[in-house]
Structures are given as structure tokens and as C-alpha cells.
């Protein structure tokens, strides 16, 4: 059952007590960022390089990057309060890798981590 189907069933049953909705989750996300593990490693090297280092120098890292790092996609969601959550997507077969699908899966995995955080926040407000 998809998230939209579940949301529709909740509405159809008239369950109107305070709760977190998919719209609440989306409204709480202020930015999202995507990168592969290989880009993360290259960024690490670039960040720690001195001011004289060129991008081409960073590309020649030693040891060479393993090709599997291109198959691991990360999504970082920044929430309204500044908290961050991450999601990942790993592809087993390089032939099946699709960057767009990897980003979608990584984002969905990150969003799944937002639900309990917002649920806890709502429950704390209701208990207070």
C-alpha cells in the first residue's frame, strides 16, 4: 500500500485526531542534497587540500576510488529546525544503476526517518 493510499484510507475513515501527514513531512523539509559516495570522497579530498590544489589533482587520488562508490547514492534532508537526516540507495549491479532512481530511493529512505522524529515531537506537545 502506498503512502497516498494509506493517507486516503485515514481520511475516508474520518480519523481526525492530531497526527503527522505526508504534507507535514514535506513542509518540514527546507532543502535536500544528493551525492554519490565517490563524490563524497572527492569532496573530502578537495576540502582537506591546500589552496594550491586543483580539481584535477583531487581526481588523481591514491588509492584510486573503487567503482562501487559510484553506485551508492546519499540524500541529505535539512529540516526546518536545522536537523538533518540521511537516506541511502545502493545498487548491486552497475548495469542497473540509474542516478534518478537512486536519488528517489535515497530520498524515500530519508523521509522514512523523519516520520518518527515528527511523531515524537507531536506526542511531546500533546502530552504537555
Q: Where in the chain are the domains?
A: 3-37+70-127
Band of pLDDT at residue 41, cut at 50, 70 and 90 = confident
Rounded to two decimals, the pTM is 0.85
User: How far is the C-alpha of 111 from the C-alpha of 80, rounded, in Å?
Assistant: 14
Least confident of 38-42, 82-86, 120-124: 38-42
pLDDT greater than 60 at residue 55 = no
Cβ neighbour number for residue 5 with a 10 Å cutoff? 9
Which of 103, 115, 44, 116 has its CA nearest to residue 76? 103
Angle at 19 between CA 15 and CA 25, to 5 degrees: 125
Q: pLDDT tens across 61-99, in order?
A: 556 789 999 999 999 999 999 999 999 999 999 999 999
Residue range 3-37+70-127, CATH number: 3.30.160
* The predicted structure's pLDDT at residue 59: 61
The grid coordinates of residue 15 equal 480519523
Which of 40, 44, 47, 48 has its CA nearest to residue 75? 40
Q: Cβ neighbours of residue 108 under 8 Å, at least 6 residues apart?
A: 87
Are 70 and 117 in contact by the 8 Å Cβ rule? The answer is no
Amino acid at each position: 500500500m502506498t503512502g497516498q493510499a494509506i493517507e486516503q484510507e485515514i481520511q475516508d475513515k474520518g480519523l481526525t485526531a492530531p497526527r503527522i501527514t505526508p504534507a507535514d513531512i514535506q513542509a518540514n523539509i527546507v532543502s535536500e542534497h544528493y551525492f554519490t559516495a565517490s563524490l563524497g570522497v572527492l569532496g573530502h579530498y578537495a576540502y582537506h587540500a591546500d589552496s594550491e590544489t586543483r580539481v584535477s589533482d583531487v581526481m588523481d587520488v591514491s588509492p584510486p576510488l573503487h567503482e562501487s562508490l559510484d553506485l551508492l547514492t546519499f540524500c541529505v534532508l535539512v529540516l526546518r529546525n536545522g536537523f538533518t537526516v540521511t537516506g541511502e540507495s545502493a545498487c548491486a549491479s552497475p548495469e542497473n544503476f540509474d542516478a534518478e532512481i537512486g536519488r528517489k530511493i535515497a530520498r524515500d529512505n530519508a523521509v522514512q526517518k523523519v516520520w518518527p522524529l515528527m511523531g515524537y515531537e507531536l506526542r511531546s506537545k500533546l502530552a504537555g
